[in-house]
Amino acid sequence: MNGKILRQLLLLACMVVSTSAFSQSQFTFTGTLTENGNGLPVSGASVFIADTSFGTITDFDGNYSFTATLQPGAYTLTFSSLGFSTQEVSIDVGGSSTITTDAVLNEDLLSLDEVVITGTGAGANKRTLGNAISTVKSEDLVNNGAIAVDQAISGKITGALVQQNSGDPAGGISIRLRGPSTVLGNSDPLYIVDGIIVSNSSNSNDLVDLGGNSQNRLVDLNPNDIERIEVIKGAAAAAIYGSRASNGVVQIFTKRGRTGDPKFNFSTNVRVNELRKEIDYNTVPLAWVDPFDRNNLETVPVERFNYQDSFFETGFGIENNLSVSGGNDRTSYYISGSFLDNEGIIKNTDFQRVGFKTNVTQKAWDWLEINAGLNFTRSVSNDIPNGGINAAYGAITGFVFSENSINPNPDESGVYPVTSLLVPRTNPLEAVDRFDFGQKVNRVITSVGLNADITKNLKASYLLGLDFYNQSATAFIPINNTSPNGDGFARRADINNFQYNSDLNLTYTIPINEDIQSTTTLGGSWQYEEFDRVGIEADGLAPVVEVATNGSILAQGETRSQISYWGTFLQQSFSYRDKLYVNGAVRLDGASTFGEDERNQLYAKASVSYVISEEDFWRDTFGDAFNTLKLRGSWGQAGNLTALSAFQRFTVLNPSSINGSPSLIPSQQQGDLNIAPERQEEIEFGFDAGLLNNRLGIEFTYYKQDVSDLLLPRELAPSAGFNSRIENVGDLENKGIELLLRGAPIKSDDFSWDVTATFSKNENTVTNVAGGGQFALAGSFATNYVIEGEPLGVFFRQFYARDPDGSISLDDNGYPFAGTNEDGTGSKVIGDPNPDWFGSLINEFSYKNFKLRVQLDAVQGFDIFNWNRRLLDNVIFGGGYNVGQELLGNRPKGFGGAQAGIFEEFVEDGSFVKLRELALSYNFKPPFDYIDNVQLSLVGRNLISWDDYSGWDPEINTPGQSNGVRGFDFAGVPIPRTYQLGINVSF
């Protein structure tokens, strides 16, 4: 009986499947997509049938074509592209096997119809969000002379201060969203690639001390593989992504395949990197007989050498990219390979990167989609140490300490002369000729994801993402050299960094009535990271030996770290008539670095968005002037989980030896088993407005962020047996505004002009330090301070004594001297490395097949400490321009030596305006059917800097990605001027 019933059920199922299969037919969809106003084709736009997996993207001429197997009936054909309003067209399928539908897209300067990802596993229309989100399109990330993603977004996002710390071939970048939010921790945003939390650490100096040359790991990503970047700022991001996102989120989405025949794209670029300007140096053909005696003015004739010619040179580079994408109604793919070779402006420095990228999407069943991605990168760099923070060797380090009357070239026997006469520093020419420093990185970023439509209303998504890299660095200084390591030096260090995130989200959407729709999201995440480092270094090398194990061991060590993060959230959203949106969320976060009773913290978020221009009264009253107006506001809480290392809550015991016996000695810093995360609370409100028939778009945001329970080192009484303990004893505040203007002044058949302007202003204040105290930040030579009532990292050092009229006081011999405060102390705040404001102006012109892009970036109202000039201007070293002025009698001998102890002298205005990008391109279709488009481009980057800084470049920070130590120029490599010529072929 049971067998008979089973056979009947199988027969019924076959009949249902057969009936369904025979009722479906194959249809071909074709058409052209153009832009309203000028009729220009819209390329790269998505065209798909709603609620199905069928679709494609438009080609360079705006044409599309794809096939779909469907049942006859009514469907919605959707056209969407970044920067345009989404267009939906109702179609009736069944009468003809070919359906031709043309569409016209209207420019959407505010991008309110843009679908963005907010951490819930599903996209959200931008109009529904109460917080600001910035987007950068793929075409804005390439053809700009940048080699890394973070370089490419400079000036394109409001509220994001993007600064290059070093001009090395893979020089590091710092990104700050709405200012620093911690002192001891990391103020970098959280970086997510296709849902994978990835590391952007800068480990160069942890491996081998290269001074200010610090790569950060976003350089492992190829900008040509990226579809778009979304940036969420502030605590609104943390409510969904967790407290690791308290500094904001940079979401990077890589390219994916589309239904249709394979589409290939090949590009090649050649570039030239050069020093933008030289700094003034001593060219006077005289030298002091006794530089230390101010009263002895006797000189002797000498020949002066421009040492900058010894270590700077023009670097060349080449970059090749090849990609293919395609697919059918079940499977789509994107595969790419790339090669980059970029030489630096310091001799014998370069950076090579080889990459492979693939994304595959498989429709397993109608209700389940599987995504898988893999990114492998191999990079190799040849480095020359520069930057004077710790390393006493290096090319530019040697330059600032050298007396440039000495010929730096080697003698006939190949021996390089000593050029630094007072302190042991390297002959800069020897550094670039003989030193051998380098790094190698192998990195894998991979993920697998599932998207399931469980029911009509319930959807689920799961993602497992892995990020692993091995970074290995070596250093070799041969024997008989001019550095402090005259008997040779070798070091080898390796880092293994592994992390993963496992995220599950459930989303339930249901209409409550005709006007109100409810969306409920429940999610959870588990994250783990593991960091291992091992290193060994030695001096006293034997001839030709380059490995540390064959020398006299100076140091060897190993570091291990494991941290777990976990969190779960519940978010509830309501929409009313698609114009009023209310959102609330709560999140529980935890991290293993904090005390067991404090590590789990609860955070909340609320936001509202109101598209008031959808109301009839608005359209009738203001519709002609304000076509679009969206009001938004949000409030959110978060915690910062980066201020403590894995085991810093414990009192660490250091191994030692007493009388030959092993022992453990407590460190100078006491642990705290009850330490808690820092807490952050932020309020944000603003509006998005479209005027003049949406030809002008305005985005405005005001925010105020308060950080409490700030982790700071608290000084302890000597009786405690420790020097300090990290405690939750500080507060910090950020507040500011962000303004974005987008305009389309001209739109015609042949010519168009688009303008984008950004303005961001952030005021940072340390509002509380335990007991009203202050302390110097490590790595700043006791120059950058944390002081209550001041911005983070202000310069606090000696200052000039001044006369009542404000002029610098001079002693009886005509030399300046340091001043004192009323309480008798000799230091005060003399500068602030935090800018008053920053912004950009981007003009894009299009005339027929020509396109011109001009981008100006400005950072204004910040100070930079010029450590280079402090040495160069001192007569005891002798290489600076002002030492030459002393030799000529234009200022007293030893004047620079008197200034050396008055730090105020070396604080300079770092404000600049840069011609960041200048790009000209020409597109044409050759007379070959198999080639869709050819683009020729000529690009300049960092061409001109309008500034008053006496150094090479004010846009530099020798400590790299340091949070509080900013505005620091000490033997760092300046950012080069770059020219690039490229060709891109689509077929």
pLDDT confidence of residue 656: 77
pLDDT band per the 50, 70, 90 thresholds, residue 558: confident
Query: Residues 766, 792: contact at Cβ < 8 Å?
Result: yes
Query: Of the spans 179-193, 297-311, 626-640, which averages the highest pLDDT?
Result: 297-311
Q: CATH topology of 22-105 equal to that of 138-275+312-394+435-793+832-862+910-986?
A: no
Task: Tokens 């599950």: give the residue.
Answer: 504
Give tens-digit pLDDT for 353-371.
999 999 999 999 889 999 9
Dihedral class, residue 352 (left if φ above 0, else alpha if ψ from -120 to 50, else beta): beta
Give tens-digit pLDDT for 751-783.
999 999 999 999 999 999 986 788 888 888 899
Question: What is the CATH topology of the domain spanning 138-275+312-394+435-793+832-862+910-986?
Answer: Maltoporin; Chain A (2.40.170)
Share the mean pLDDT of the chain.
88
| Lowest pLDDT segment from 128-142, 367-381, 430-444, 755-769 | 128-142
Give tens-digit pLDDT for 522-538.
999 999 999 999 999 99
Could you count the other beta carbons within 10 Å of the beta carbon of residue 399? 31
Q: How far apart (Å, rounded) are the C-alpha atoms in residues 275 and 11?
A: 78
pLDDT band per the 50, 70, 90 thresholds, residue 117: low
pLDDT band per the 50, 70, 90 thresholds, residue 386: confident
Structure tokens at 241: 């992504």
CB-based contacts of 13, cutoff 8 Å, min separation 6? none
| Lowest pLDDT segment from 148-162, 849-863, 897-911 | 148-162
Q: Kindly give the pairing relationship between strand 828-831 and strand 315-327.
A: unpaired
Burial of 592 from C-beta contacts in 10 A (0-12 / 13-18 / 19+)? middle
Distance of CA 56 to the CA centre of its chain: 32
Give tens-digit pLDDT for 23-71.
567 888 889 988 876 777 888 788 888 777 677 888 877 888 888 888 8
pLDDT confidence of residue 465: 96
Q: How far apart (Å, rounded) are the C-alpha atoms in residues 882 and 893?
A: 10
pLDDT confidence of residue 212: 60
- Averaged pLDDT, 277-304: 93
pTM: 0.89
Q: How far apart (Å, rounded) are the C-alpha atoms in residues 223 and 349?
A: 22
What is the C-alpha radius of gyration for the chain, rounded to an integer number of angstroms? 31
pLDDT confidence of residue 552: 87
pLDDT confidence of residue 85: 74
pLDDT above 60 for 305: yes
Residue 70's alpha-carbon distances to 18, 26, 144, 276, in angstroms, are 14, 6, 44, 61
pLDDT above 70 for 113: no
pLDDT confidence of residue 830: 96
Residue 226's alpha-carbon distances to 134, 140, 819, 982, in angstroms, are 16, 10, 55, 18
CB-based contacts of 942, cutoff 8 Å, min separation 6? 145, 276, 914, 915, 916, 975, 976, 977, 978
pLDDT above 80 for 7: no
| CATH homologous superfamily, domain 22-105 | Carboxypeptidase-like, regulatory domain (2.60.40.1120)
pLDDT confidence of residue 116: 67
Query: Residues 886, 897: contact at Cβ < 8 Å?
Result: no
Structure tokens at 307: 């040492």
- Averaged pLDDT, 238-247: 74
pLDDT confidence of residue 335: 96
pLDDT confidence of residue 10: 40
Q: Where are the domains of the chain?
A: 22-105, 138-275+312-394+435-793+832-862+910-986
Length of the chain: 987
Rounded (5°) CA angle 149-134-855:
60
DSSP string, 659-724: TTEEEEEE-SEE--TT---EEEEEEEEEEEEEETTTTEEEEEEEEEEEEEEEEEEEE--GGGTSSE
pLDDT confidence of residue 479: 93
Structure tokens at 496: 């293994």
pLDDT confidence of residue 6: 41
pLDDT above 60 for 9: no
| Lowest pLDDT segment from 76-80, 716-720, 941-945 | 716-720
- Averaged pLDDT, 707-713: 88
Give all strands (DSSP E) within 204-304, no chain letters: 226-232, 249-254, 260-274, 286-288, 299-301
- Averaged pLDDT, 282-308: 93
pLDDT band per the 50, 70, 90 thresholds, residue 2: very low
pLDDT confidence of residue 106: 76
pLDDT band per the 50, 70, 90 thresholds, residue 165: confident
Query: Residues 341, 350: contact at Cβ < 8 Å?
Result: yes
pLDDT confidence of residue 27: 86
Distance of CA 845 to the CA centre of its chain: 28
Give tens-digit pLDDT for 884-917.
999 999 999 999 999 999 999 999 999 999 999 9
Alpha helices in 782-924 (DSSP H): 867-872, 881-887, 895-899
pLDDT confidence of residue 388: 66
pLDDT confidence of residue 247: 85
